[in-house]
Amino acid sequence: MIAALPLLALPVLVYNLIALTGGAAGLTLTLFSVRMASGADWPVTTGDLLLAASLVVLFVELLKSTNSRRAAIVNHGLSMLLFVVCLVELLLAPAFATSTFFLITLMVLLDVLAGFIVTILAARRDVDFGAGVGL
């Protein structure tokens, strides 16, 4: 049953913890700077790291969506529920009206769409209607 839980709930949970305890200012906190070859400094913020981690989690979720077991179907449903929660938070809660949370919500939407599309394509491939037989 644990395999059915959408992994993108983790970045959403982390964002919720940051936004509800420190507000949006917690996402703009510069953690460190990277000196680029051009000589410019690239400040890496908490929001940047959260987005990078979310992209890695999205990749793993996309790999999980290729499975057509019962757990994958439950995962698709829970991902849809997570998207609805993210959308409501984005639209109604001021602490979630940031580009960082919008991009995380977009990743959750992509996970939902990819999961359903991959499942439909796999089902179409598994079902052969006997095209061309007897013609």
Mind listing the pLDDT tens digit for each residue in 24-63?
778 888 899 999 999 999 999 999 999 999 999 999 988 8
pLDDT of residue 80: 94
pLDDT tens track for 7-31:
999 999 999 999 888 777 788 888 9
**Residue 7 parent element (H or E):** none
Long-range contact pairs involving 33-38 (C-beta distance under 8 Å, separation at least 24): none
The answer to whether 43 and 29 are in contact (CB under 8 A) is: no
Residues with Cβ within 8 Å of 101's Cβ and at least 6 positions away in sequence, in order, are 15, 19, 86, 89, 90
Max intra-chain CA distance, the chain: 71
CA 82 to each of CA 11, 33, 67, 89, 120: distance values in angstroms, whole numbers, following the listed order: 11, 33, 20, 11, 21
> What global pTM score does this model have?
0.83
Angle subtended at Cα 71 by Cα 70 and Cα 72, rounded to the nearest 5 degrees: 90
How many alpha carbons fall within 13 Å on the CB side of residue 30?
Answer: 6
Which tens digits make up the pLDDT trace of 62-92? 888 777 677 778 888 899 999 999 999 999 9
